[in-house]
Structure 1
Amino acid sequence: MVKNNYLKKKGWSQLYCRLALLAPLSLSVLPNQATASILFPESLVYAKLRTQQNISGKVVDATGKAVSGVTVREKGGKNSTSTDINGNYNLAVSTPDPILVFSSIGYIGQEILASAAEKVILKQTEDVLDEVVVVGYGNQKKTNLTSAVSQVDAKVLKDRPSPTVVNMLQGAAPGLVISRNSGRPGAQGLNMEVRGATSANGGVAPLVVIDGVISSEGTFMALNPNDIENISILKDGGATAIYGAQSAGGVLLVTTKKGEKGKSRISLMSNMAWQMPANIPERLSLIDEMNYVNTARANTGLAPEYNEEDLNYAINGPTFVLGSNGQWRTYNQENLIDKVVKKSYTMNNTNLQFSGGNENVTYMASLGNMSQAGMFKIGEDHFTRWNARANISAKVNEYIKLDIGSAFIDQATDNPQDGGYGLDGGGNGILRQFFSSRMRFPIFNEDGTYYRSGTSSAFGYALLKDGGFNRDRSSTYFNNATATINKLVKGLEVKLMYSREDITKQNRNFRRTVTFYSGPEATTASQLNNPNNYSIMDYKTLSQNYQAVADYDFKLGSDHNFHIMGGYQLYSYDYQTLGATTKNLYVNDNPSLNFTSDPVNKSNSQSALTEKMQSYFGRFNYNYKEKYLFEATIRSDESSRLTPGQRVKVFPSFSAGWNMSKESWFDGISTVVNELKPRISLGKVGSKVGIGYYDFIAQLQTGSNVLLGDSRQTYLYQSMIPAVNLS
């Protein structure tokens, strides 16, 4: 009995000690109570009950359908749970009036007071429910697509500092492969392929359509990335057949930014990037090079090329030693690569954008500049691009809206002068020279003149620095006007479009004569680019596009949805070149085509290409409750490249899909798979690669390699057999 009383008192003592530690909490919870000996246990029970408060409820979507897998958590707390297959949840909370946070992929997150969370309605995000994807001659809800289309939006391009939008697309979309064969500013040799090579004639570049207008790959590369809203990549036959004879390589649909109603906004963006060669091999020192050469000769049973005296000069100098035969012996120890290639170089990008509007008129205007330096320390090696764009949309009345887009692109590329050897190719390519030439041959003589010893020395330095220039200039003007007519008939919309793209390019190439001195006497000279020569080539391209498209949407009942589109397009293309060349100029600086008098030193050339294509196209879409999807397209192209009477070609496509995520039974796996849509497509596409502009007719060319008497005669001859049945 005594022992039991002792244990009972000991237990109460431990309880009182624990309650004493909780006294501040008790008093803060129940500040109006005075008798602590009785109230401590009650306050402890109250706090315990408060931490175990449970909140329950149900989560549904806008249609009242239960949403499973929704994460429910207490804001500021650690507890969380998920809704079950019926949308029900039960969550323990630690505060008296908690805020619950509801989140799920594909739905807009919400924060709701627990007292109002008995039934929570989540709205699906626009990205999932109403995301619109640009397709050929229109757009579709992403959930209703039955063909292979990927989309890249402005967010993906925003944080990729690169010289062109094509560089930015590398790795941005599945199936789109970007490659390049050079890192030169303005001349990277970029190549785009959608799902690999698609023609027996080689790789076919994707067709580029900018704001609904067929454009050139070069214009796409020159776009200001900050002006782009999104890019759709059409990849399979079901998606691309609507573009017929130009769609075998896939299609890139580019949409530029438009204005939005609201207050005027001004944004300024500027960034600078540092670039550096990724992998520049290091050259051997002169002494190592000599030792390896001697070892190689010894392995083949030959006498060494360099004796002990040569090896001593290779270490201790001097650079020039006059041999017993009166010829210079050279022992250059300077790193040739360091004289030519920069360790790093910069790229600058600046963009200024204005946007705004009201209910009737919206606008977006931008001005951008990009400049990129090259890797060569000497000579010209630089690229600059200016972009200007204005997109204006005006609501004329209740039925008509006008969209006008204008853009200007100016590009200037100052290429290094290679003297015809090439910069990054094989043979005596300039960059290759600095790795393959003998290290012992210097660039300069002791008096500062250029040194050269055949093709074993790095004479490319002199060509880069004093060999002249090779400059490209390009200007592109793009204008597009679209009139949209709707509301005349319910579900009917008509678009009328005219666009024009003018591209003017010019190349000026001057190869200045460069003199080298390599002994045995100081006056013994050799020359490259002799005689000097100067050429100017002008290129002009005019593309015009006339287009009319009608869209009609209607329903049968509430479940059967139909869309019909039909259109006509006339595409016109004109390309002209005009060139002139002169050589043996009076002067070796400031060249002009007039600086020579002998007609033998002058030549000129001219060419022209034209093409026209008219097309009829259409699309039919049907879906039942957005579950069962079907699409068919057809296009008829008539091209001037083909033989008359065989110029019309037809390109159909069919595709179908089953949107399983719309089925009621899909709810059971929606927490694991949020969308599942098997689809199938079949399409016929075409390509113009390998087909000339006039292959169907006999073509004449001029020749002048016949001598009659004492003079060369010019004559005409048929250069090829016409493809009379080309189709």
Structure 2
Amino acid sequence: MKLKLFSIFMILISGFGFAQNSKTVTGVIMDENEIPLPGAEVKVIDKEIYSVTDFDGNYTLENVEVGDGVRVTYLGFVAQEFTIQQKNEYNITLQEDAAQLDEVVVVGYGKAKSRDLAGTISNLKADEINDSPTNSVLQAAQGKLPGVQVINDGAPGSVGQVRIRGSISVLGGADPLYVVDGVITDDISGINNNDIQSMDVLKDASSTAIYGARGANGVVLITTKSGKGKLKVSLSSTTGVNVLSNQVDLANAREYAQYTNEALARIDKDPAFTESEIANLSSTNWMDNITRDGIFQKYSVSVSGETDEADYYLSAGYLDEEGTLKGNSYERLSVRLNNTYRLNDNIRVGHNINLIRSRGFNPSTAAFDGDVPPLNVFTTAYKQSPTIPVRNEDGTFRNTNLNNVGNPVAEGQNNSSVNEKVRISGNVWGEADIFDWLTFRSSLGVNVLRQKIRAYAARYQIANESSTQFNNQNQTLRIQDNDAERFNWDNFFTIDKRFEKHSFNLTLGLTSERFTSEYLSGSRRGVPPSDNLLYLNLGEKEGQNVENGGDKSTRVAYFSRLLYNYDSRYVFNATIRREGSSKFNKNQRIKYYPSFGLAWNISNESFFDNQTTLSNLKLRASYGLIGNDRIDSGQFLQLVDFSQYPFPGGVVTGGTSIERYDDNLKWETTKELDLGLEFGFFQNRLTGQFTYYNKETEDILFPLALPQTSGDNEFITNAGNIKNEGVEFSINWGEQAEDDGFGYNIGFNITANDNELSKINPVIENASPFITSGSLNNGKTVTRTVEGRELGTFWLYKTDGVFETQEELDNSNQPNAKIGDFRYVDVNGDGQISQDDRQFMGSYQPDFYYGINVSLNYKQLDFSTDLFGNVGNKVYNGLRANRFNGENIDKALFNERYVPGNGFQGGPAAFNAVPEPSDYYLEDGDFLRVNNITLGYTFNQDFLDLIKISRLRIYATAQNALTFTNYSGYNPELPRGVLDSGLELNAYPTTAKYLLGINLDF
């Protein structure tokens, strides 16, 4: 009996103990700033009990026991563990893990963890962008991302030119697709850097195929900030000066006079200067007279935060930059409002709205081909004679009859253009959690541009040695209004489901896009030179010009993407997009763009558990198709001119083809293979990746040059392939500072790309299978694009010294040659020097480009520097090669000129003639530029608490301060078109900035 009672008592005690140990615990997961972390995983170790925090960071764990271990994980933060004790509430504060901050990336129509992706994505975070006092995010990215080449010039308002893994099209453009908060745009110049949260660059087909025909050149996704946490006010201010960082040493007055006399003597003309005149000449430095040190100012303020019902982010930014060219400036005002409203726990709506107003001023009337026009004033200053003053004694502008070059100061003061733009871009969106694993999102994006360009050429008096006259007798006003509207409507479901070791993320959607643009331009002469009277109706009707044009296009696409992950080890990605575009005929309008990728997170295998050296190892591979339809609408239409023709018995109306068109034009299609290895050592203090890619664009739209008998100049058709093959490598070593200690980060990346027009198929008999480009504006061209060569390959005569004797001339068939002229190599050996003897001599596309990034911090001090460079590219000095008759030269050309009796010094004798395009003017474009040097100081928290602010940082920055290059021109960085990049002519010289700034948070 006693035994039975004891057994019952023990059973009751055991049950009571079990009941006491089984319990429910709750808590809040937050970061160091006490901001809740929604989506954090709270899991009981070795048990299938877990919870995911809600929007306010709350979690609940049921059926846990005292003594259970619990692990809390959240992407970008150090995992933390705690043990269940008697209490029922556990609030956990997680610390940021710098080694994992880059794990979440933005992809098309959503976000993903990098370990779940098989594609290649590079990204910049907010601190790398916001702390860079540049005009645009692209300038901040220069030299930091492998496979991404950013080419800048010194003009205010310029955002830079981007090439991702080379150029893949001739007519379809080479710029990437820009998507800002889901809104498609072709202009990101108005975005304030301080508003940007991240920039993600999709580079391979696996990543970009979800954008179909828009993704062939790569995709740049920009995400702007949203409010979070308590009310926060941020202020930033930067001011400084722009200066020319590289000057060309031009011939002075005496050297110019001597050179001019020698050139005249070679064509049996009298000298322009006597010896006594040469001895008493003084020099005019034309570049000094048209340039200045320009003031740079940039200010930004933002207010952000969140409540239970909404989060908000409101900002305003102002930029005012004077260029180094007098009369050249740019100002921009931007306002952004990003709000999210939580209607309940499952439904959210919001908007991202950006309003930008900008004005650019240029001392030029060439303002109708882009926001930053070719600035011919620099070329005029290069070429004008240094022997004449800027003005005569009576105040009129001076000119000379020795050449046909204008007075650059007069040109700058009497020719001007104003480019005003107002742009509204943004979206309104709604998002609903239908189930905890199914979300629907709808977003309507809009991008509206209103632009007005007003260019005025005034009448002014100018005098040379023999006469006084009025330049631009017919003062002219030109006005152009541009309107453009783009709407895109995206609707998609996202299924995010996990069970056991399987993780699925499936996106299914529909997107539509409509684009319209129109311009109206006109010009009249005789408009009065007053800012208040610059209207066309005040000019002369005779000789007026009016032009109107535009474009309309629509796109519709269905897309789906699967991101599958098994046990955080094996990854499979697949995407398909079905797209239709109105830019093509009905039988070619629809195209499918599939892609797939595989990845293996080797470091998550069990055999890696017992080692600590290698912390991350991932292999990935992907393949896919992407497209390009960036051509004007209606290219497949046949234009017909209807006229009346007399025939016996009456007049008959008939049609004649104006131009020849291919009604079977189709999409350009790029096929890309991508293989990569990612690695991390020593708890990811050392990280890096290596990627090989091979992409070929088929059916490129190519303008075939037609024979003269056809009546047309060219015929646009799908006639070839372009191939880009290359490797990318990046490595980064860093360690965060602890307890106000020393922290550092050192990064290096390098990209090698081989570009080739791999195939041309002249579908029309006798059509010329090449494109000649790179005009020097003197009747000469310097590039030709042909099969087997890079796009925009320099096509030049090879020099072989100069003719030094009459005997050499007598034995040569080179037409019109004189002693002192270059000898050109007879490549084909036919005894004649002709176009057939021109050779291909490289292009502006480098063998490889690289970047070096260093950041150091010790206690409150921080220092950073960024360097980038090109190796193996060629540039053509079009300034030096553009001499007609009596223009100035650079000092190197003067020193290298051939003088009889002195032997060959490397250059030709003095000349007054248009030179043939030759390798003498082709130079190595290698350079290394120190893009940024910044030294900052952040005040410590004790001091900040006294003055009631949360952050105060001051800094000094030098941008483009140093460039190491052997190039003889103003700037080896020469962004132009796909077929003529690397030609320096009417280019903006390199500009350096020296700035002081302050960042302040309340």
Query: What TM-score range do you get, normalising by the shorter chain?
Result: 0.7 to 0.9
- Which of the residues 167, 182, 191 maps onto 1:212? 182
- SS at structure 2 position matched to 1:438: coil
Residue 207 of structure 2, aligned match among 218, 222, 239: 239
- The question of 1:308 aligning with 2:275 is answered yes
Distance 1:151 1:554 in 2: 26
Residue of structure 1 equivalent to 2:322:
373
Contact 1:418 1:464 in 2 (8 A): no
Structure that is richer in helix per residue: 1
The Cα of 1:301 is off from its aligned counterpart by: 9.7
User: Which residue identity does 2:664 align to in structure 1?
Assistant: N
Give distance in 2, aligned partners of 1:214 and 1:308: 65
CA distance in 2, matches of 1:418, 1:309: 41
The aligned amino acid for 1:526 is Q
Deviation at 1:386, TM superposition (A): 0.5
Does 2:501 match 1:552? no
**Paired position in structure 2 for 1:448:** 395
Deviations along 1:421-478, one digit per CA (max 9) or x if unpaired, are: 999x99993212222222212221111111222435551211111x242110000012
Relative distance call for 1:130 and 1:473 in structure 2 (3 A) is closer
Closer/same/farther in 2, CA of residues 64 and 263 from structure 1, 3 Å limit: closer
Higher RCO (CA 8 Å, separation ≥ 6 residues): 2
What residue number does 1:162 align with?
134
- Measure, in 2, the Cα distance between the counterparts of 1:700 and 1:512: 40
> Shift in Å at residue 398 of structure 1?
2.2
In the superposition, the TM-score normalised over structure 1's length comes to 0.73
Equivalences for residues 53-68 of structure 1 within 5 A: none
For the residue of structure 2 that corresponds to 1:676, the secondary structure is strand
Aligned length: 575
1:503 match: 449
- 1:519 and 1:350, CA in 2 relative to 1: closer, same or farther beyond 3 A? same
Structure ranking higher in strand proportion = 2
Residue 348 (structure 1) aligned to one of 283, 287, 297: 297
Residue 535 of structure 1 is matched in structure 2 by: 478
Deviation at 1:513, TM superposition (A): 1.4
- Which residues in structure 2 correspond to 1:617-636 (within 5 Å)? 617-636=559-578
Q: Distance in 1 between matches of 2:226 and 2:147?
A: 28
Amino acid at match of 2:394: D
Distance verdict in 2 for CA 1:640–1:252, change over 3 Å: same
**Amino acid across the alignment from 1:684:** L
Separation (CA, whole Å) in 2 of partners of 1:571 and 1:564: 23
Corresponding letter in the other structure for 2:457: R
| TM superposition score normalised by structure 2 | 0.54
Match of 2:632 in 1: 692
Question: Alignment partner of 1:221: what SS?
Answer: coil
Q: CA deviation at 1:334?
A: 3.6
Contact kept? 2:104, 2:114, Cα under 8 Å: yes
- Partners of 1:608 and 1:617 lie apart in 2 by 30
Residues 541-586 of structure 1 show CA distances to partners (whole Å, capped at 9, x for unaligned) of 1111111110112234x11112211000110111111122111346
Shift of 1:240: 0.5
Q: Shift of residue 207 of structure 1?
A: 0.7
Tell me how far apart the structure 2 counterparts of residues 428 and 553 of structure 1 sit (CA, whole Å): 53
Can you list the C-alpha shifts for 1:225-273, whole angstroms capped at 9, x where unaligned? 111100111000110001001110010111110011x332111100113
State the match for 1:640 in structure 2: 582
**One-letter amino acid matched to 1:511:** A
CA contact 1:196–1:203 (8 Å) conserved in 2: no
Post-superposition CA distance 1:173-203 (Å, at most 9, x none): 21111113x4222256x31111111235475
Cα distance in 1 for partners of 2:339, 2:590 equals 37
Query: Structure 1 residue 720 and structure 2 residue 688: aligned?
Result: no
The runs of 5 or more residues in structure 1 that have no matched partner are 1-60, 66-105, 113-120, 315-331, 707-714
| Cα distance change, pair 365–453 in 1 and its aligned pair in 2 (3 A) | same
Do the aligned residues in 2 keep the contact of 1:421 with 1:430 (CA within 8 Å)?
A: no
What corresponds to 2:156 in structure 1?
Answer: 185
Q: Select the residue among 309, 320, 328 that pairs with 1:360.
A: 309
Aligned-partner residue type, residue 463 of structure 1? E
Q: Kindly state the Cα deviation for residue 490 of structure 1 after the two structures are TM-superposed.
A: 3.0
Q: How does 1:704-715 map to 2 (within 5 A)?
A: none
- 1:275–1:345: 8 Å Cα contact kept in structure 2? yes
Q: Is 1:419–1:511's contact at 8 Å kept on the other side of the alignment?
A: no
Name the CA shift for 1:297/1:404 in 2 (closer, same or farther; >3 Å).
closer
Letter in 2 for 1:234: L
171 and 665 in structure 1: CA distance in 2 versus 1, 3 angstrom threshold: same
Determine helix, strand or coil for the equivalent of 2:378: helix
For residue 228 of structure 1, what is the aligned residue in structure 2? Answer: 196
Letter in 2 for 1:644: K
Instruction: Deviation per CA, 1:314-369: give whole Å up to 9, x if none.
Output: 2xxxxxxxxxxxxxxxxx43433222222x32211100101112121110000000
Q: CA offset at residue 274 of structure 1? A: 2.2
Q: Does 1:146 align with 2:146?
A: no
Alignment CA distance shift 1:717-1:669 (3 Å) = farther
Report deviation, 1:722. Answer: 3.8
Q: Matched residue of 1:441: which SS?
A: coil
Asked whether the equivalents of residues 336 and 434 of structure 1 are also in contact (C-alpha less than 8 Å), the reply is yes
Aligned pair in 2 of structure 1 residues 289, 644: CA closer, same or farther (>3 Å)? closer
Match of 1:51 in 2: none
Structure 2 residue aligned with 1:280, among 247, 266, 274? Answer: 247
| Aligned counterpart in structure 2 of residue 464 of structure 1, from 412, 423, 433 | 412
Specify the alignment match of 2:549 in structure 1: 607
Report the CA distance shift for 1:173/1:215 in structure 2 as closer, same or farther (over 3 A): same
In the alignment, is the contact (CA less than 8 A) between 1:419 and 1:463 conserved in 2? no
Q: Does 1:269 align with 2:218?
A: no
Aligned partner letter, 2:285? N
Matched, 1:386 2:353: no
Instruction: Tell me: CA distance 1:536–1:169, structure 2 relative to 1, closer, same or farther (3 Å).
Output: same
| Amino acid in the other structure paired with 1:173 | L
1:720 deviates by: 2.5
Structure 2: distance between partners of 1:369 and 1:312 = 52
- Residue 462 of structure 1 aligns with an amino acid whose one-letter code is A
1:336 maps to amino acid: W
Q: Distance in 1 between matches of 2:409 and 2:552?
A: 43
Q: Is the 8 A contact 1:421 1:428 kept in 2?
A: no
Question: Residues 123 and 461 (structure 1 numbering): CA distance in 2 closer, same or farther, change over 3 Å?
Answer: closer
Distance across 1 between alignment mates of 2:351 and 2:472 = 50
Change (3 A) 1:295 1:526: closer
Separation of aligned partners in 2, 1:577 and 1:357: 43
Which residue is equivalent to 1:78? none
Residues 368 and 453, structure 2, Cα contact 8 Å, conserved in 1: no
Question: What is the match of residue 415 of structure 1?
Answer: 362
State the alpha-carbon separation in 1 of the partners of residues 373 and 314 from structure 2.
45
Distance 1:608 1:561, change over 3 A: same
* Aligned counterparts of 1:410 and 1:560: Cα–Cα separation in 2: 49
For 1:396 and 1:414, locate their aligned partners in 2 and report how far apart those are by CA, in whole Å. Answer: 46
- What amino acid is aligned across from residue 412 of structure 2 in structure 1? L
CA distance in 2: counterparts of 1:405 and 1:694, whole angstroms:
34
User: Once the 2 structures are TM-superposed, how far is the Cα of residue 518 of structure 1 from its aligned partner?
Assistant: 2.7
Matches of 1:494 and 1:202 in 2, distance apart?
34
User: Distance between the aligned counterparts of 1:511 and 1:637, measured in 2?
Assistant: 47
Q: Pick closer, same or farther for the CA change 1:293–1:610 going to 2, 3 Å.
A: closer
Structure 1 pair 195–269 and aligned structure 2 pair: CA distance change class (3 A): same
| Greater mean deviation of Cα atoms: 607-616 or 158-167 | 158-167
Query: How far apart, in 1, do the equivalents of 2:347 and 2:498 lie?
Result: 24
Distance 1:429 1:586, change over 3 A: closer
* Shift in Å, 1:692: 2.9
